[in-house]
Every structure is written in C-alpha cells, then in structure tokens.
Structure 1
Amino acid sequence: MQWRRHISGLAFSVVFVLSYFTNKFVLSELKFTYPTLFQGWQTFIGAVLLLLSGKLGWVEMSRITRSAALSWLPGSFLFVGNIYAGSRALSRIDIPQFFTLQNSSHVVSYVIFKVVHREKTQRLKMISICLILLSAIYLPSYDPQFDYSGYMWAFWHLFCVGAYRVFQVHYKSTNLSDLEQQCINYLFSVLLLALAAHPTGDLTGAMEFPSLQSHTFHCGCCASALLGFLLLLATVRLKSGLSLEYLGVWIFLSKVTAMFLSPFIFSMDVNLQSLFCVIVSHVAEALLVYSERDSQPG
C-alpha cells in the first residue's frame, strides 16, 4: 500500500507544478492581470466540475445545509482574499520569491495559534519560524526585480493563507468534508468576484485585452481552471491517505521542484543575496515540517 501513497504524492506534485506554471504563464507572460475575471473563471469551472462529480458519484459530497454554509463563510472570505491577492502577487513576482513570501503564512498561523493556545513551542520550530520571517523581511531589499505592488499583494496573500489554515484547524463543525468546504468556497468566490469585476475595472480592461481572441490565451485559461480542480482532488486524495505532516512534506517537495524548474520556463533575474533568502526560507520550511512530524506520537 505504501507505493500507492507515493503515486498519490507524485501525482499531487505534478499537478501542483503545472498549476502554478500555467497561472504564472497567463498572468505574467500573457499579462492577463484581471484577477476578478481570472479567478472567477477558475472558481466557476471548479464549482461546476465539483458539483457534477458529486452528482455522478465520482466524489463523496453530502447536501450542504444553510447553517453549515453560513458558519463556513469566514473561511470563504479568507479563501477569496487568498486567491485574489495571490494572483496579483504572482503576476508581478517570480515563483521562487513568491514561495519565499508565501512561507511566511506559517508565521501568521504560528502567531495566531500562540495567542489562542499559549502553549510551549519546540526550539526547532521556533528557529524555523524565525528564519522564515527573516528571509521574507530581507528579500525585498535584495530582489533585483522588486515590485512594491507585488510585495504588498503578497503580504495580504500570506496573511489570508495563514489565517485560513488556522480557521480550518479550529472549525468546530464536523458536518463539512474538505470537498464540501471547497464547494462553498467556489460558489461564494464566483458570486463575490462577479460582483467585483466591474467596480475594480477588470471587466472594462479585459474587453480591451489584446490577446482575448488568442488560441494560446484560451488554452491557458482552460488549463488553469482544470488544473486547479485536479489539484483540489489530488490534495484531498493525499490527505485521506496520509497525515497532515506527510502532506506538508509533499507540498514542500512540490514547491522546491517548481522553483528548480521555473528558471528554465520563465525569464528571471536573480542575484546571490535574493537566492540566499530563498534557500534559507525553504531550509527553514523543511525544518518546520520535520519538527511537526517529530512532535507527533508514533
């Protein structure tokens, strides 16, 4: 049975890398920087595919009650903030720097957990958290392609990711599975992003987008939506067969793979100082994953 877990992990890694590369290609190479439309399209397709899969019996989904959906709305708000700010940041920041900043979401989660529980922290975990934070603080000073707007959106992205992680852990109801939670996220995102498309100017700007009729653009958008849905299924499958600590290992390996391959796909300008920040951040993340595995019984 162990080999099945490895296959699930490898499938997750492949979809993870392809998903980020496709999103980066559409946002940066094709310059489609209209996140309400881009993420609205992705979440709409995700919702349709998820509901269709549940209807056909391909995935297990129960009927979502109104009270359960309402209780999950704070998580949906954080989810929308995550994908909206993440798109803004990814369109302006290279993938290695983006993941380095995203790692700081662990700092946000740690601070919130610390305030809520006030429990004693392992020394190794504390060291890793501090290294992740220092790497993110120093990275903007050394990044040769520093973009103020991109880094500000990355800050909001990492905050929403960290807070969403805490909300998932502390969500008390057992009535919603991971797929049902994501279904609420998708439907809420479609509604909110659709309402925001005109006030943000994305709708008007997209109508004048030069590549709107491009075959490459259409393929990229369709691929991004499909890969986002497949990444959800791969994540749920991986979580069902492994502990959260081992899921963290596969996420870490997938990010390292994406960072290693990204210079071969996208043009990047990296110096030694920014590369050092990236390396330190991900070494610290490896220590964090190890400390969380080591702290589990058995």
Structure 2
Amino acid sequence: MGSRVMPQGAQDISDPFIERHLVIDTSKVNRNAERGGFTNREQNGVTDQVSSPRRSEIVNRSLSAVKSFGNDDIDLEGGDVEKDRDKTIRGSRIVKVRNQAVLSGLAYCISSCSMILINKFVLSSYNFNAGISLMLYQNLVSVIIVSILSLSGVISTEPLTWRLIRVWLPVNFIFVGMLITSMFSLKYINVAMVTVLKNVTNVITALGEMYLFKKHHENRVWAALFLMIVSAISGGITDLSFHAVGYSWQIINCFLTASYSLTLRRVMDTAKQVTKSGNLNEFSMVLLNNTLSLPLGVLLIFVFNEVDYLSTTPLLRMPMFWLVITASGFLGLAISFTSMWFLHETGATTYSLVGSLNKIPLSVAGILLFNVPTSLQNFASILFGLLAGVFFAKAKMREKSQS
C-alpha cells in the first residue's frame, strides 16, 4: 500500500485504509475555516441640533447625497440592495465550504477503498505471491513522487539526516512489519473479515495506553471494544473461507499496528528535536518512512526468497500488471493528500467517523467483487463488527470532548 499520514484525531488507527498513516497530533492542526469578510460600515451621526423641519430636511438630503456618492451599493431607502448582496456572498461562501468538505470526503473514501481492493486484486486475483516486493514497489513509487514534488517546491520536506534516521529506525522496523503482515493476511482473508479483525488493534492500543501512558477510558469505549472482540470471534467462527495462516498473519498485524501507534508517540518528540526546523510535517514523515523501508524491503525479499519467484513469474512480463501495481502506489500516496485535505476541510471528529463508516461499503464491495462465500450468520457478524467500530469512534469523540 502507499504511504499515508493518519491524524491522531482519527481514533480508529486500525482502519485498513489508513493503517499506513503516521499518527500526528491533530491539536496542532489549524483548521482555517472561511469566515465572511464583510466590512462593517460605520455611519457618522449628525451632532448638530436642527432647529427646524426645513433645516432637518436639508441636512438629511445632504447626507443621503454624500452616502450615495461614496457608495453606490447602498439603497437610500434602507440598504436593501447591500443586504441582498451580502446574503448572496455569504450563501455562496457557505456552499463553497460545504462543497469542499464533501469533495474532499469523497476523494478520501474513494482512494482508501480503492487501495485495499486493488491490493486484494493483485494478491488474490493475479495470485501474486510476492507481498514484500509489492510493498517495496509501492513505497518506491511514493518516494519518487514525494521527492519530485519537494524538489519542484510544491511541498516542503525535512532533509533526511543521520541523526533523524537513527531516531526513526525503531519505528520504521515496526512500520515495515505492519505492511508485510497486512499483505500476507489480505492474500488469504476476504476484505470484510480483514476489516472486522483489524478492530482488535483498537483493543490492544487501548490496553497499551492504559498501562504505558496511564490513560483511562470511559465505559462506553470499553463496551465498544468488547463488542469488537465478540464480532471478531463470531466472524471467524462463521467464516466459510476461514484460513488459519491468514488469520495468524492478521493477529500479528494487529499487534504490530498497535505497537506502531504507541511507539510513534514516544519517538515523535525526539524526532522533532533532531530536525533543522524543529518540526516534522506529514510529507517529511511519508518520505522518511518509505525511504527507510526500501533497503529493509530489499533484504527481506532475499530472506523470504521472493527473488526466485520474481524471476520465473510471467506476471512481470504483463504491461497490465505493471499498470495495476503502479496505480496502487499512486493510490497509497493519494490517501496522504486526500486525508490531509479532508481533515483540513472538516476536522478530526468528522474524519474519524467517516473512516469508520467507510468500512461498510468497502466490506460489501469486497464480498461482491471477489465472490466471497458467506452466510447470514457471517454477514451479521461482519455488520455487527462494523457498527461496533462506528460506536467506538463516537465514544472516543465523546471522551475527547469531555477531557
């Protein structure tokens, strides 16, 4: 999958569409909402006492002439024209903001859903047995694109110094392990069950926060986590396409994803201190994570003996296959852009809720597109798990608002 940046406000860090996002502090994200830029016109009052109706009429007419000369937009009867114009401007700006929010939300949902589906397509439909190589190629595409954008001045990134690399390496090892286990599990498990099983990551993360950071959660949060566990167990029991190897990889992925989130919180402050600007923006983290993953990915290709497979598979001689995996690299990076755009236009609360709701159409699409055999019990377990994820997101929002 391509590299992404996950805002910390999006509480569901196990989201399969944004599992490669980096956790950042959304309290520092400044949402510059558009506000109406209207100028308040102050009218000077007449302090002279008018002794007669005739003088009063002359003064009023003079003031009306001056106002008319200074501002043709003001209606002499009561400013109706100006009020109508202000209402039109205000209404158009509100519509513009709402359109931007809807557009960014759709872009984020489409890119995130497409990413997981295209990975499933490559690994299952093409029967591509080199998940590490796929991860490596996608990350290489991300590095190339971000580097080009940085050199052209479109975005700004921090230089990758040795001090920064040494600080970041422990996080990157977990990051690569998280991506590889995700690829391995997705090859054997259908999209809907992967989505439900990833909810276990939230449970592990909550426990880690409690023991490592002494953070206490509300009863609603624990209730949602309990429902997630129930749905994962019932979904696995009723899964007609159950695969023990795939489920094992997915459980490992849940632990690695939770470890990534918890470790990153400790490393982030140190990493910022060793940068030249004292800050580490999202694009810098995307470039850093994906660049460091390349040599480690090459090493793992030899360790897992994917070189022999790559040298014999006919897939690498198919132009369409290269087009598909290149598109997956672009989609991975697109999630970085669309998630930041969506977060800017709305906020962490909406971002988190939409991320949870986005799992529902993804799961349905995964079942229909890949002809997954299912039963009523399994489908009910999947739906139950997805709704538990939405309940969890809302509980975390409530907990955050009260803290």
TM-score over 0.5 (shorter chain): yes
The within-5 A match list for 1:13-24 is 13-24=109-120
Give 1:198's aligned amino acid.
F
CA pair 9-168 structure 1, distance change in 2 beyond 3 A: farther
Residue 333 of structure 2 is matched in structure 1 by 229
Deviations 1:17-46 (A, max 9, x none): 111111111110001120121111001111
Deviations 1:170-194 (A, max 9, x none): 4324431222112111011111011
The within-5 A match list for 1:198-277 is 198-277=302-381
CA distance in 2 between counterparts of 1:177 and 1:227 reads: 20
CA distance in 1 between counterparts of 2:353 and 2:154 reads: 27
Residue 88 of structure 1 is matched in structure 2 by 184
Structure holding more helix per residue: 1
Is the counterpart of residue 103 in structure 1 residue 207 in structure 2? no
Counterpart pick for 1:43 among 128, 131, 139: 139
- Cα offset for 1:242? 4.1
Give 1:57's aligned amino acid.
G
CA RMSD of aligned residues (A): 1.8
Q: Are 1:245 and 1:292, in contact at CA under 8 Å, matched by a contact in 2?
A: no
Segments of structure 2 that go 5 or more residues without pairing to the other structure are 1-96, 273-278
SS in structure 2 of the partner of residue 285 of structure 1: helix
Higher mean alpha-carbon deviation, 135-144 vs 225-234, is at 135-144
- Cα offset for 1:241? 4.0
Segments of structure 1 that go 5 or more residues without pairing to the other structure are none
SS in structure 1 of the partner of residue 269 of structure 2: coil
Is the counterpart of residue 123 in structure 1 residue 219 in structure 2? yes
- Runs (4+) of structure 1 exceeding 4 A deviation are none
Residue 185 of structure 1 is matched in structure 2 by 289
Residue 79 of structure 2 is matched in structure 1 by none
Counterpart pick for 2:269 among 165, 168, 172: 172
TM-score normalised by length of structure 2: 0.70
Deviations 1:255-288 (A, max 9, x none): 2221122233211011122222211211111011
- Cα offset for 1:212? 2.5
Deviations 1:221-259 (A, max 9, x none): 111111111112222333344433322122223222211
SS in structure 1 of the partner of residue 210 of structure 2: helix
Deviations 1:103-161 (A, max 9, x none): 21111111100112333321110100111122223332221111111111111112222
SS in structure 2 of the partner of residue 197 of structure 1: helix
CA distance in 2 between counterparts of 1:21 and 1:261 reads: 8
Deviations 1:69-101 (A, max 9, x none): 322222211211111000001111110001011
Give 2:137's aligned amino acid.
W
Residue 112 of structure 1 is matched in structure 2 by 208
Q: Are 1:12 and 1:238, in contact at CA under 8 Å, matched by a contact in 2?
A: yes
CA pair 26-280 structure 1, distance change in 2 beyond 3 A: same
Give 2:244's aligned amino acid.
Y
Counterpart pick for 1:29 among 101, 121, 125: 125
CA distance in 1 between counterparts of 2:314 and 2:161 reads: 43
CA pair 147-215 structure 1, distance change in 2 beyond 3 A: same
Residue 393 of structure 2 is matched in structure 1 by 289
Give 1:154's aligned amino acid.
Q
Higher mean alpha-carbon deviation, 246-255 vs 153-162, is at 246-255
Residue 235 of structure 2 is matched in structure 1 by 139
Counterpart pick for 2:244 among 148, 158, 176: 148
CA distance in 1 between counterparts of 2:342 and 2:259 reads: 22
Count of matched residue positions in the alignment of Structure 1 and Structure 2: 298
CA pair 244-70 structure 1, distance change in 2 beyond 3 A: farther
Q: Are 2:224 and 2:391, in contact at CA under 8 Å, matched by a contact in 1?
A: yes
CA distance in 2 between counterparts of 1:64 and 1:197 reads: 24
The within-5 A match list for 1:39-78 is 39-78=135-174
Q: Are 2:202 and 2:258, in contact at CA under 8 Å, matched by a contact in 1?
A: yes
CA distance in 2 between counterparts of 1:119 and 1:94 reads: 34
CA pair 128-271 structure 1, distance change in 2 beyond 3 A: same
Residue 299 of structure 2 is matched in structure 1 by 195
Q: Are 2:100 and 2:345, in contact at CA under 8 Å, matched by a contact in 1?
A: no
Larger radius of gyration: 2
CA pair 68-242 structure 1, distance change in 2 beyond 3 A: farther
CA distance in 2 between counterparts of 1:8 and 1:73 reads: 33
Percent of aligned pairs sharing the same letter: 19
Give 2:338's aligned amino acid.
A
Give 1:92's aligned amino acid.
Y
